[in-house]
Structure 1
């Protein structure tokens, strides 16, 4: 004899499940703690210009013992389908994909952050808004930093200030001019500076008012230099076609003075003119497990737990000594 048992249930009871390995957007943007984790992830995803391979390896300044894609560039074989070193995370120079992925993440935060306090009881909203405003300032800073890195490598790039969706018309995205890119960086730095705390009250490694103003100073100084503002730019994407040099220099000067006027930063005294003291103190400065020095405007700390991910000696030591020689200067450079 055969017995067949059949049961019935509602589809929704089985299929309509919330993901167990991630937070929904509704949960994320209603919890200031999760939003803080979100911006910390944006920090982690921001390339700071320091990694296993330096930009020198794709020039005549240095040679990478292990090519890792560098050869594609130096042999002139780079294409839009094969960006070689620019698409690998082990390189310090600005990768197009990495930066724009992070910009998308930051734009999403900027669109959602203002509504986060509304998810809390009225009695808590003022406190939550204070935290949300700082996170918002950090987001503006990180977007400005990302665009600064892109601008220094590529000149003008697409100006994207909203989170894109699959339904957007990407054919309308055009390359911004160099001047437009610089203007976005300066504006984002100003917005960040207005929201962020002074360095003394910022968590180590997090953006501060001083960091935002210093980034603006760096970007405007680059923009005013002969690299982009000497009047020889081939087009509006790589520099200023008709630069107003005095105005550019004044803007760079004023931005730098704004950092100085904070009174938060100064050069360390390493013991000059005692050469031995200078050498020892300089060495200890870079060994310090803190960013509390008044010489540090914005820094990033690394942990030995990351293994060889951030080991400057391993990366740059001589290959004959068991190190990698990732950025070996050429003899002509020496």
Structure 2
């Protein structure tokens, strides 16, 4: 018997009405703690549960999350990219002095909470469905995927803003969460681990490049433990993926993205875009005008010197190209229409996570082996680093090039407390971004306080 009581119908009609109203607004006008969205219909049976889960993934890949805004925070804030446009708010990331009224910060915050709220609706509704077509295995998988996306979302919030409001239930009426203040960063990361622990037993131990599985959970756990400096656990979960023959470092480097490749053995988790109803906004920002883009983000001089040096960049030089005016541009996103995947986790990351963890655990030989696996794929000479400090620096430098146009560089330098040494960020409060000013303003209860150092 399906869920069909009058009360339940009224509840979900209210939710759907609010979804419709919210979806008509611009992203920056939506209060993330109040926004409601799951799918185009209520969640009452197998079909609507699957549609709702698709909505969760759609939010994950949206332009304000992994589609553009959130990822841009990581690479614009690093030291590889120059801004060629005129918007001063984008230059704030390049200058490492971001203000609370920055539109990209607000968009990313809203986009991440939108994904969380969609996941919350799935997590709340799916256990109540009584539809014989929704088998236990399928129910578990849908729930596990929603838990995984919520874990990833809170992980991204924590590493960007620190402690944030923890919203784990669907919002039924606007304003009901306004009195929920910020949790500590420790509590936020605890929520991440809790969601990963919930997801793991629910998901199948299969290989899927586009949907969360138990293996995807292991990969994110490895990254999570790296950030927590739990080196043994980071090594343990990275090893689960590296030992799986379904994941490989493809040679040469460009194999995983060139020639319209997608879902290769290099990929642990990536977002699929069909290029029509769902497009990846990165392409327009990176490609030059002659290719139909704006080239507002471009590789800077220092990065070009590294990536084009055969002894350093090796075959990773395919990440950049020159237009008809001899100007360099990033070429990870190039497809027409814009159907390039957004790469969230690649097997190369697991090798370098394990290398870093092993270096910290005083396993220099093993750490060097993992580092050199990545260098060998890049077509460069093997490293001979032997001391812990030399190994860690070599791994840091390798990550800079390996993930140059992905969402890692800024977060790597912050988590290792190297942003001052490498980027000259002397004001450590800037290791975290400001809570968006519009969120502070709409919080009438004053429960949402700003990060220290920002106004």
TM-score (norm. length: structure 1)? 0.66
Mapped contact 1:141–1:212 kept (Cα < 8 A):
yes
* Cα deviation 1:179-213 (Å, max 9, x = unaligned): 2222221221122121112334x5x5111111111
Q: How many residues align?
A: 264
Cα deviation for residue 289 of structure 1 reads: 4.7
Q: Which of 225, 235, 246 pairs up with 1:265?
A: 246
1:101 corresponds in structure 2 to 114
Pick aligned residue for 2:82 from 41, 63, 66: 63
Structure-2 residue corresponding to 1:45: 59
Partner of 1:316: 286
Point out where structure 1 has 5 or more consecutive residues left out of the alignment.
1-17, 89-94, 225-247, 271-277
Output one character per residue of 1:249-278: Cα deviation in whole Å (capped at 9) or x when no partner: 2232233234446x35332452xxxxxxx3
Partners of 1:176 and 1:84 in 2: CA distance? 24
1:255 aligns with 2:262: no
Q: Which of these residues, 212, 215, 223, is aligned with residue 210 of structure 1?
A: 215
Alpha carbons of 1:264 and 1:186: their partners in 2 closer, same or farther (altered >3 Å)? farther
What is the distance in 2 between the residues matched to 1:104 and 1:42?
Answer: 9
Provide the secondary structure at the position in 1 that maps to 2:135: helix
8 Å contact from structure 2 (residues 145, 199) kept in 1? yes
* Aligned pairs (5 A) from 1:211-250: 211-224=216-229, 248-250=230-232
Q: Which runs of structure 1 show a deviation greater than 6 angstroms over 4 or more consecutive aligned residues? A: 18-25
The RMSD of aligned alpha carbons is: 3.5
**Shift, 1:107, TM fit:** 1.2
Deviations 1:269-320 (A, max 9, x none): 52xxxxxxx37xx3475435542x33321122223335974463x4323458
Partner secondary structure for residue 54 of structure 1? helix
Structure 2, gaps ≥5 residues long: 1-12, 21-36, 305-455
CA distance in 2, matches of 1:223, 1:265: 27
- 2:106 alignment partner in structure 1: 87
In 2, Cα distance between equivalents of 1:216 and 1:41: 24
Asked if structure 1 preserves the Cα contact closer than 8 Å seen for 2:256 and 2:262, the reply is no
Deviates more, 1:157-166 or 1:181-190: 157-166
Q: 2:99 & 2:196 partners in 1: Cα distance?
A: 33
CA distances 1:123-171 after superposition (whole Å, capped 9, x unpaired): x26x533222110001001001111111221122222222234463632
**Aligned-partner Cα distance in 2 for 1:24–1:267:** 35
